[in-house]
C-alpha cells in the first residue's frame, strides 16, 4: 500500500473572507456546524486494512470531507462574482436537480447573481455559443427537476482549451462547474492546468455524472439509482413476456460499458432474473458448462427464463467468434451489440435442439437515461451541488465531489480519472447476484 | 472513547459443517468469495477519531462483516432443519421482500424445506396460532414483493416468552427470524435469553424494521427510502395546494416519533419546502424569532409556503401550552397531534394578523407505510435477508443485521436497543435542510 | 319527454370571417374536416327512447357537435384580438393541461397574441388584480402540464359582475374562458347576461371542472379519471393495512358531495372493496340488515374488510343520530365528516361485540386533487380546450363544452346548471359495484 | 344504408332458469336492475344519420345492451356447471384483470365451481394440454391483476377445431370464454360453428383483446388506454433526448399495424409531438412538401423535433423505394421496420444537407404490452368480464362483448371480424393531432 500523505487538494489561494452562512462551530447548540478544515474519512473502513497500514507507518487513503468552511477564498460580497455551469456527455437522471441546486445555493446562500448556463456542453464555452449562455435565476430553474434530460442541453467531445479559458476570463467567470463523466473530467483538468498556467483565479469543480456508477473512489454517482430502478421495470417486462410464452426467454440489455452494476442491481431488484451477464466476469456460450446449456436446463425445469446483460459484456467473445466465423467488417460491427448477438445465439441454439421457444429482447437505454431523478437521487443531487458550491467558494479547484462512507468528499480530478470502478467478482455484490439468481458460479468449460 | 474489544457475537457452538454454497476463498478466480471469519469494519470512518483512539490504545467501535462463511453450525443436510419467520409491529415497505428472500435463500441455497410463516407477529408463536402457521415455499412467496404490507400479517405487543420458546422447541425450529422494530428486538432478546437458559440450539436473528430509520448503529433500514420517496409526493401535493391559493400554506406531517429523518429527506427531495420541523431541534411558535413570524415573512414575500413536520416534533411545546391555556385532558390529548395543532395555530395567527389565507393539511402516514418497496429498498431487503440466513446458519444468535459503511454487519441486539438514532442538529443532514429551505437557523427568541 | 327544439346556442352575431385552419370539407381527401354547422348527436342513444319520442313527434334531446367551423365571428387577422382565462374553485387534475392547450390553440392556430392569464379565479377580473394578469405565451405554458394545481392559481366565491365586465371591456377582451365548477358556470352566466345587457361582443365559454364528474349532461369531465385512479392507490393502501392486522378494517373517504362516482370507480379499480357507500343509495348502520352486521359477517368470514365511502354519503343519518343523541352544535358539526363518523361507529360496534380489531382510516382528498393529469385526461383536456377555442371564435357564448357519446358538444350554461349528475341506483355502474363487492343489495332493515 | 333488422344474437335455447342475482326490475327502489331483454343502443348517435335512415324506413345499426337478465339458459344450481377460459395472441395490459373478474363473477355470482384455466391459448384446448388446465378459484386469481402478462400464458395460431370441441365436450364445458384478437375471434367462430353442427350446448363468448383498439364496432378495447399512457412515457423520453442535443430528433415507433390510434393518443398525451405518422394518412418523404423538408423547417426553427410513428405506417413507401433502389429480399425485409427506416432516412437527409444532428430512436413495444392495466382499464376489464358471464349464462353465443356510447353491448362475432377500425383522416381525432402538432395537413407533393 502506497502512502497517501500527498493527497493534497489544490487551492487558488488563502481563504480570507468570512462565510455568509449562518452556521456554528459549537457542538450542542442546535445550530448546524461548519466543517473543520482538515476533516477526513478513510476510503476503506476495513479494520484489518487500516491497522495493517498504520502498523507499517503508512497512511491509508483518506479523503477530505466536503462542506461549508468558515473562511472563503472568493468574497461573496464582491460585485459581479460570476459562475458558469456546463453539462456534457450523455443524459443521466438528475442533471436538472444538480443545475437547480447549484443555482439555488449560489444565489440564495452565497449571493452570486450572475450564473451563466452554457449550453451544449463544452461547446457552450466557445465564442459563438457563450453569447447565447442563459443568465440563470432561481425562477428559471425552479421546476426543471421534474423533467428528465438537461436544461442546459449537452454535447459530446472536447473543445479547444485555451479558447475556453479565454472565454471564462473574458466573461469574468470565477467559478466553473462541470457536470459530466470521465471525458468531461479530463477536459476540466486540462482547463484547470491552463488556468494555473495563466495564473488565473478560477475554481473548477466537477460533479461526476455517470449512469453506470463507475467513477473511481466514489461510492455512488447521481442518477445511478434512478437508472437501475427504471431498468428494473424493463426487466420485469421481459419477465412478463417470458412467462407469457412457452419456453419464453426474456432478454434485457442495460447500460454498463465497463461495469455490470446496473445489470446486477436491476436483476436483484426484480427478484426474477435467472442469469446476469457482466463485463467483469468471463463466460462462454458453448460447451457443457457454458451459458446456453445452463439456459436449456432452466427452460426444461421452468419453461421460461430471464437474462439481464450489461452492454459491455462479451465483447471479446464476439470478436473471437467473428474471426472464427470469418465475418466481414460490417457483420462484425453488428455483432458488437451483445444484446442482439445473444438474442440470435439463443434462438439458434434453441432451434437446433428442437425446443419451441420465443425470445423477447428489450433495450431500454434511452428510456432509462431520460427519466427524472427519483427521490433518493434528488436528495443526492441537491447535496452534491451544495458541496460543490462550498468547495469552489473556498478556492478549491481541480476536484470532483465524491461520496465515501456516508460523507461527501473532495477527490482530485487526477485521481478520479486514474481508472474506473468495476464490479468485484470476489465481492458481496456479485455474490448476492449468484445467490439470488442461482446461476452457475462459473460458465466456463475448462 | 470506551474500548470495544468486548463486542463479541454470541454463537450457539462450533461451526463444523461445510457450507453448501459454491463460493471460493481465492481472490482473482472470478468466483465470489466466502467472508473471512474475522472481517470487521469501523463504525466511524473519520481519520481523526480512529487515530485518536488507536493512539490511546483503544479499539474504535467496529462491527463484524456479515456474509456467508465456509463453515456452518447447522448441518444443511440434516433432515427436517426448520426455520420460522415472524413480522411484528407497524407496516413498512419491504416486509414482503424480506420474507420472500429469507424463504428463497433458506430453500434454494441451504436446502431448508420447512419454513414456518407464523402469522400476526409474536401471537403467531403462541399455541393456538402456531397451528395455523403457513408452510412457506418459493411458489407461495414468489410474487408477494409487488404488494405492500406483510404477507404474514402483523400485530403489536409482547407474548409470554417461555410459551413462545416452548412452541419453537415443540416445532423443532432451529432458525428464528424476527422482522420488527425496537420492541421486537427487545422481545427477541428475551427469547434468546430463555433459549440460552434452556441450553436450546435455536439461532435468533433480527431484521430491523423501522420506517423512521432510527435504529442505532445501522446507517439505513429497509423501507425508509421508499417511505421518504412516497412522503415526497405528499409534500408536493401540499406544495401544489399552497401555490394554488392566495397565501396558501401547505402542511404535511410525516412519520418520525424521535427522528426527523423522513421529514428532512422528504423536504430535500421535494426541493420546495420552506420549513422543516423536527423533534431534534427545539423551536418556538410565538415571538419575533419564532416560527409564525418567519412564516408571515415568507408569505409576504412569496404568497405561499410549505411546511413539513415530523410527528414527534413540538411535543413539549404542546404540553407547556396546554398547561398555560388550562386545557383539559381531552383537549390536551387532541393537541398531541402536532400536525393538527400547527394547522390551528397557523390559521389563528394568520387570521389575527388579518391575512387572507388557506391552510391545507395532509397526513399521509398510512399511504406511506403500505406501499411496496421501491427498487433500491428491494435490493436492500434481498441482501439483508441473505445475510440474516448466512448468520443464523453459522449459529450466530442474538444479533440483528445492520448496514455500516457499505457493509452488512452483525450488531448485537443488546447494543441495537441501547438507544435510538436521531438527526444530528450539528451534522450535515440538518445543514443541508437549512441550506435548501432557507429557514432561520434557530427559531427561538432568547 | 319534453321537446328540445328550443335548444339553441347563443351567438354574438354572424360568422363572416374565414377560418385560418387548413381543413377541408371534402370526405376522402385525407385532410381533416371542418365540422358542419348543424351537426348534432342524441344525448340518449337508446333505440326505444329515440323511437318513442319520434313516434310522438317530439325531438329527443340532442347537442350540437363542437369543433372548428369554416366561418368565424371574430376576425383572426384583427390586431389586438384578446382572450382571458380564469380558473376558479378547488384544484382538479388537468387544469394546467387545459390552460396550456387554450394558449397553444389560440396562439398557434388562430393567431391570438394577447392572452391574459387572470390569477386567483374571478378575483383576477377585479381592478387591482387584472393589472397583475400574466401575458401568456406558448413558452410560459410549455411545461406546466407536468405539475398539478393551477398555473393561474384559484379562489372560491363570486365577485361583482358589472365590475368584472367593466374590466373585460377596459382590457378589450373578446374571448373569455372560465375553468370551474357549477358555481363558476353560474358566475359565468351572470357575466354573459351582463355582456348581453351592454350589447358587448365578448364570447364566454366554460370548461367544466368537477373532480366528482357530476356535471349534468356531460358524460365525463377532466380530472375525474386521474382522481379515481389516484384514489385507487389510497384504497389499496387501506386494503393493505386491513389485511395486515387481525380483523383489520380499512376505511377510505373519497370526494363526492352529491355523487358516489369516484367511490364506485376507485372501488371497482381496486377489485378489493367489500363495501361502497354513496350518497345516492340510502343505508342504515344498525339492525340485522344494517351495514355493521354485514361488516361483522365479512370479518368473521375473512378477518379483514375494506370500505370505501363518498364524502356526501350518510349526511341525513348523521343529523338524525345527532338529534337522537342530543349532540350539541359543535359535536354535530364534527360528525358531519362521514369518514370519521364511520370510523368511530365501526370501532365502537366491534368493541361492543368483543371483536379484537384495528380500523385504519385514510382521507386522501388533497393528494388526489393535486396530482397532474394522467395520459387519458391530458388528451381529454387538450381536445376540450381546442373545442372551447373553436366555439368562442365562432361567436358562440354562454355555453360549456361537454362530452356525449364520443363527441365534444356545446351545452348551454343554463342547462348545465339545471341539476347535477348522480350515480343511478338502478343503473349499470351501481350494479357493477354490487357484483364486484358482493355487498348486500340493500342495507335497510324494513 | 343497409337495414340491420337482421342483427340477431344467436342463442342456445330458451332461457328458463331464474337468475340468482339479487337485482330488481323496478325503477326507483334503490336496487340495481336487470337489463330488459330487448334494450338496444344506436351505434351512430348522430341526429342526421338516424333521422335519414328512419325517414327511409330503414333501421340504423343498433346493438343489444349487455348485462344480467332475469332468466338464464344454464341452470346455476346444476351440479358441475363448468366454464373454460383461454387467452390467445400477444400480451395486452388487463388480461389478468379479465381472467380474475371472469372467475370472481362465475364463482361468487353464479355459483360456478369448476373453471378451467386452459394454458397457452388454443393449445390449451388440445388433448395433452387440457390435462394441465388449472382449476381456477378466487384465491388463485385474487392478486393476479397487479402483474402484467397473462396468468394463463398465451400462444399464437390455430388448432384443430373438431379436436378442441371434442375436448370441450369431454370436459363437459358449458361456457367458453376466449380472450384474444381478430384471429382468436375467427377461431372462436369456427368453434361456435362446430358446436352448432354437433348440436352441443356450449356458449362461446369472446372478450376482444387488441392493444391497437382496432376492433370493428367497439369504441374501446381493454389495455388500449394503458398502452397509449405507457407509450406517452416513451414519447416523452424521446422528447427529452431530442431537446438535450443540438438538432436532436426523437423518434418513437409504437404499436398499430392498421391503425394510428396509439400513435395519435400518445402524441396528444405528450403535448410535445411535432409529427405523427400513421397508416391511414399517406405521406411522402422527399420533395418540397414531403416529411423531410417539414422536419428541416422545424429543426431550423426550434433545434429539436419529436416524431411518433405507428408501426404500420409507410409500408407501401418502403416497398416502392425498395424496388427503385433494387434492394434484395432480405434488405427489403429489414426496411419493413418503419422505425429503423425513418431513422436511417432522417439521418441521411440531415447529413446530406450538412446539419449536425442526433437521432434517438425508441421502440418501446414490449414494455408497453407487458405492464399491468391502469385504473380505468381495470374497471373496464371488470365490467367487460361481468357482462361476458351474464351473456354466456343466458345462452348467448358467437358474440363478443363490445362497448358503444356508454353501454356494453353484444356484437356478433361475424360482424366483429368483418373489418378493422381505423383512424378517420376526416375525423376529429386526426384533426386534434393536426391542431396539436402543427404538422402540415398533407405531406404529399402533388
pLDDT in tens, A44-68: 999 999 999 999 999 999 999 999 9
Q: Which residues contact A444 (CB under 8 A, 6 or more apart)?
A: A282, A283, A284, A289, A290
D109 contacts chain C (CB < 8 A): yes
Q: φ, ψ for residue D116 (rounded to 5)?
A: -85, 125
pLDDT at A329 over 50: no
Gap between the terminal Cα atoms of chain D = 34
Indicate which residues of C carry an active-site annotation. 212
pLDDT at D329 over 50: no
CA angle (D147 as vertex; D145, D148 as ends), nearest 5: 100
Structural domain boundaries enclosing D235: 225-370+426-437
Q: Are residues D123 and D192 in the same domain?
A: yes
D334 contacts chain A (CB < 8 A): no
Q: What is the ipTM of this complex?
A: 0.95
Q: What grid cell was written down for A386?
A: 451544495
Nearest-neighbour CA in chain B from C358: distance (Å): 10
Q: Are residues D288 and D386 in the same domain?
A: no
Nearest-neighbour CA in chain A from D146: distance (Å): 12
Of the CA atoms within 13 Å of residue D101, those in its CB half-sphere come to 31
Q: Are residues A257 and A202 in the same domain?
A: no
> Which residues in chain C have Cβ-Cβ distances shorter than 8 Å to D232?
375, 378
Q: For the segment C358-388, what is each residue's pLDDT rounded down to a tens digit?
A: 999 999 999 999 999 999 999 999 999 999 9
Q: How far apart are CA A426 and CA A435, in angstroms?
A: 13
Q: For the segment A354-374, what is each residue's pLDDT rounded down to a tens digit?
A: 999 999 999 999 999 999 999
Q: What is the helix, strand, coil percentage profile of chain C, to 5?
A: 40, 20, 40
Determine whether the interchain pair C364/B367 forms a contact, defined as Cβ–Cβ distance below 8 Å: yes
pLDDT at D81 over 90: yes
Q: Which residues contact D57 (CB under 8 A, 6 or more apart)?
A: none
Q: Which residues contact C191 (CB under 8 A, 6 or more apart)?
A: C161, C164, C165, C168, C176, C204
Q: What is the helix, strand, coil percentage profile of chain D, to 5?
A: 40, 20, 40
Chains in contact with A, where contact means 3 or more Cβ–Cβ distances below 8 Å, are B, C, D
> Which residues in chain B have Cβ-Cβ distances shorter than 8 Å to C120?
245-246
**Element (DSSP H or E) covering residue A117:** strand A114-117
Q: Using alpha carbons, list the distances in angstroms from residue A14 to A37, A195, A199, A202, A386.
A: 13, 17, 14, 14, 21
pLDDT at position D323: 59
D147 contacts chain B (CB < 8 A): yes
Residue D231 lies in a domain: yes
Query: Which of A91, A361, A367 minimises the CB distance to D364?
Result: A367
C3 contacts chain A (CB < 8 A): no
D179 contacts chain A (CB < 8 A): no
Q: Are residues D363 and D380 in the same domain?
A: no
Residue D420 lies in a domain: no
Q: Using alpha carbons, list the distances in angstroms from residue C198 to C166, C173, C400.
A: 10, 14, 22
Q: Are residues C381 and C363 in the same domain?
A: no
**Average pLDDT of the residues of chain B:** 94
Q: Which residues contact D177 (CB under 8 A, 6 or more apart)?
A: D83, D84, D85, D86, D102, D205, D206, D207, D388, D389, D392
**Rounded to 10 degrees, what is the CA torsion of A304, A305, A306, A309?**
-140
pLDDT at A2 over 50: no
Catalytic residue among D212, D214, D377, D424, which?
D212
> Which residues in chain A have Cβ-Cβ distances shorter than 8 Å to D361?
366
Residue A310 lies in a domain: yes
pLDDT at C444 over 90: yes
Q: Sort D38 into a burial class: Cβ within 10 Å, 0-12 / 13-18 / 19+.
A: exposed
Q: Are residues D218 and D239 in the same domain?
A: no
Cβ–Cβ under 8 Å, residues A332 and A342: no
D439 contacts chain C (CB < 8 A): no
Nearest-neighbour CA in chain B from C238: distance (Å): 7
Cβ–Cβ under 8 Å, residues D257 and D365: no
Task: For residue A319, give the CATH number of its domain.
Answer: 3.40.50.460
pLDDT at position C323: 58
Determine whether the interchain pair A31/B426 forms a contact, defined as Cβ–Cβ distance below 8 Å: yes
Q: How far apart are CA C70 and CA C110, in angstroms?
A: 13
Q: Are residues D200 and D68 in the same domain?
A: yes
Residue B59 lies in a domain: yes
Q: Which residue of chain A has the CA closest to B100?
A: A271
Q: How far apart are CA A442 and CA D20, in angstroms?
A: 61
Q: Are residues C170 and C246 in the same domain?
A: no
Cβ-Cβ contacts under 8 Å between A and C: the total is 6
Catalytic residue among B212, B337, B424, B426, which?
B212
Residue B414 lies in a domain: no
**Average pLDDT of the residues of chain D:** 94
Task: Give how many domains chain D has, as a whole number.
Answer: 2
pLDDT over 70, % of chain B: 95
Q: Are residues C49 and C185 in the same domain?
A: yes
Please identify among residues 258-277 of chain B the ones whose CB lies closer than 8 Å to any CB of chain A. 265-266, 268-269, 271
Q: Look up D348 and say whether it is catalytic.
A: no
Cβ–Cβ under 8 Å, residues D390 and D34: no
Residue D181 lies in a domain: yes
Q: For the segment D274-328, what is each residue's pLDDT rounded down to a tens digit?
A: 999 999 999 999 999 999 999 999 999 999 999 999 999 998 888 766 655 555 4
Q: What is the mean pLDDT of residues A419-440?
A: 96
State the alpha helices, DSSP H only, in D172-290.
182-198, 224-243, 261-270
Nearest-neighbour CA in chain C from D170: distance (Å): 31
pLDDT at position C157: 87
**Average pLDDT of the residues of chain A:** 94
Q: Are residues D127 and D55 in the same domain?
A: yes
pLDDT at D6 over 70: no
Count of residues in chain D: 446
D142 contacts chain B (CB < 8 A): no
B120 contacts chain C (CB < 8 A): yes
Please identify among residues 376-415 of chain D the ones whose CB lies closer than 8 Å to any CB of chain C. 376, 378-379, 382-383, 386, 404-408
- Please, which residues bridge with residue C207 across strands? C179
pLDDT at position D161: 98
Q: For the segment A141-171, what is each residue's pLDDT rounded down to a tens digit?
A: 999 999 999 999 999 989 999 999 999 999 9
Indicate the DSSP class of residue B320: H
Nearest-neighbour CA in chain B from C362: distance (Å): 7
Residue D346 lies in a domain: yes
Task: For residue C215, give the CATH number of its domain.
Answer: 3.40.50.450
Nearest-neighbour CA in chain A from D89: distance (Å): 10
pLDDT at B279 over 50: yes
Q: What is the mean pLDDT of residues D33-43?
A: 95
pLDDT over 70, % of chain C: 95
**Average pLDDT of the residues of chain C:** 94
Residue C8 lies in a domain: no
Of the CA atoms within 13 Å of residue B123, those in its CB half-sphere come to 15
Task: Provide the angle, in degrees to the nearest 10, between the axes of the packed helices A375-393 and B224-244.
Answer: 80
State the alpha helices, DSSP H only, in A105-175.
127-130, 138-141, 161-170
Q: How far apart are CA C135 and CA C117, in angstroms?
A: 6
D336 contacts chain A (CB < 8 A): no
Q: Are residues C133 and C249 in the same domain?
A: no
User: Given the DSSP bridges, would you call strands C275-277 and C304-310 parallel, antiparallel or unpaired?
Assistant: parallel
Q: Which residue of chain C has the CA closest to A139?
A: C140
pLDDT at position B322: 59
Q: Are residues D79 and D161 in the same domain?
A: yes
Cβ–Cβ under 8 Å, residues D274 and D250: no
Q: For the segment D360-402, what is each residue's pLDDT rounded down to a tens digit?
A: 999 999 999 999 999 999 999 999 999 999 999 999 999 999 9
Amino acid at each position: 500500500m502506497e502512502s497517501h500523505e500527498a493527497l493534497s487538494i489544490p487551492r487558488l489561494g488563502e481563504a480570507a473572507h468570512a462565510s455568509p452562512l449562518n452556521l456554528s462551530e459549537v457542538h450542542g447548540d442546535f445550530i448546524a456546524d461548519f466543517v473543520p478544515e482538515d476533516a477526513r474519512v478513510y476510503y476503506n473502513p476495513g479494520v484489518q486494512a487500516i491497522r495493517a497500514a498504520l502498523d507499517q507507518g503508512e497512511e491509508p487513503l483518506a479523503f477530505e470531507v466536503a462542506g461549508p468552511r468558515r473562511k472563503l477564498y472568493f468574497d461573496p460580497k464582491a460585485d459581479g462574482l460570476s459562475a458558469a455551469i456546463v453539462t456534457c456527455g450523455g443524459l443521466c437522471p438528475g442533471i436538472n436537480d444538480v443545475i437547480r441546486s447549484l443555482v439555488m445555493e449560489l444565489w440564495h446562500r452565497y449571493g452570486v447573481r450572475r450564473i451563466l448556463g452554457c449550453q451544449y456542453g463544452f461547446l457552450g464555452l466557445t465564442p459563438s455559443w457563450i453569447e447565447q449562455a442563459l443568465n440563470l435565476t432561481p425562477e428559471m430553474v425552479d421546476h426543471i427537476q421534474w423533467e428528465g434530460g438537461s436544461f442546459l442541453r449537452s454535447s459530446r467531445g472536447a473543445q479547444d482549451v485555451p479558447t475556453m479559458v479565454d472565454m471564462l476570463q473574458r466573461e469574468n467567470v470565477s467559478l466553473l462547474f462541470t457536470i459530466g463523466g470521465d471525458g468531461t473530467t479530463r477536459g476540466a483538468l486540462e482547463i484547470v492546468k491552463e488556468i494555473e498556467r495563466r495564473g488565473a483565479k478560477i475554481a473548477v469543480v466537477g460533479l461526476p455524472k455517470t449512469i453506470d456508477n463507475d467513477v473511481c473512489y466514489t461510492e455512488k454517482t447521481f442518477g445511478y439509482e434512478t437508472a437501475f430502478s427504471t431498468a428494473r421495470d424493463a426487466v420485469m417486462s421481459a419477465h412478463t413476456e417470458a412467462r407469457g410464452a412457452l419456453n419464453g426467454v426474456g432478454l434485457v440489455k442495460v447500460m454498463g460499458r465497463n461495469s455490470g452494476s446496473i445489470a446486477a442491481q436491476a436483476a436483484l431488484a426484480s427478484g426474477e432474473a435467472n442469469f446476469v451477464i457482466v463485463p467483469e466476469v468471463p463466460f462462454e456460450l458453448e460447451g457443457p458448462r457454458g451459458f446456453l446449456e445452463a439456459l436449456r436446463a432452466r427452460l426444461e425445469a421452468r419453461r421460461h427464463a430471464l437474462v439481464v446483460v450489461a452492454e459491455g459484456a462479451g465483447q471479446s467473445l464476439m470478436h473471437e467468434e467473428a474471426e472464427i466465423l470469418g465475418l466481414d467488417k460490417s457483420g462484425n460491427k453488428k455483432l458488437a451489440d451483445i444484446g442482439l448477438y445473444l438474442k440470435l445465439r439463443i434462438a439458434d441454439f434453441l432451434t437446433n435442439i428442437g425446443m419451441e421457444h420465443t425470445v423477447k429482447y428489450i433495450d431500454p437505454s434511452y428510456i432509462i437515461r431520460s427519466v427524472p431523478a427519483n427521490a433518493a437521487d434528488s436528495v443526492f443531487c441537491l447535496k452534491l451541488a451544495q458541496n460543490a458550491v462550498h468547495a469552489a467558494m473556498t478556492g478549491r479547484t481541480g476536484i470532483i465531489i465524491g461520496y465515501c462512507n456516508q460523507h461527501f468528499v473532495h477527490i482530485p480530478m487526477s485521481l478520479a480519472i486514474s481508472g474506473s470502478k468495476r464490479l468485484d467478482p470476489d465481492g458481496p455484490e456479485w455474490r448476492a447476484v449468484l445467490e439470488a439468481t442461482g446461476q452457475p458460479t462459473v460458465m466456463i468449460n475448462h
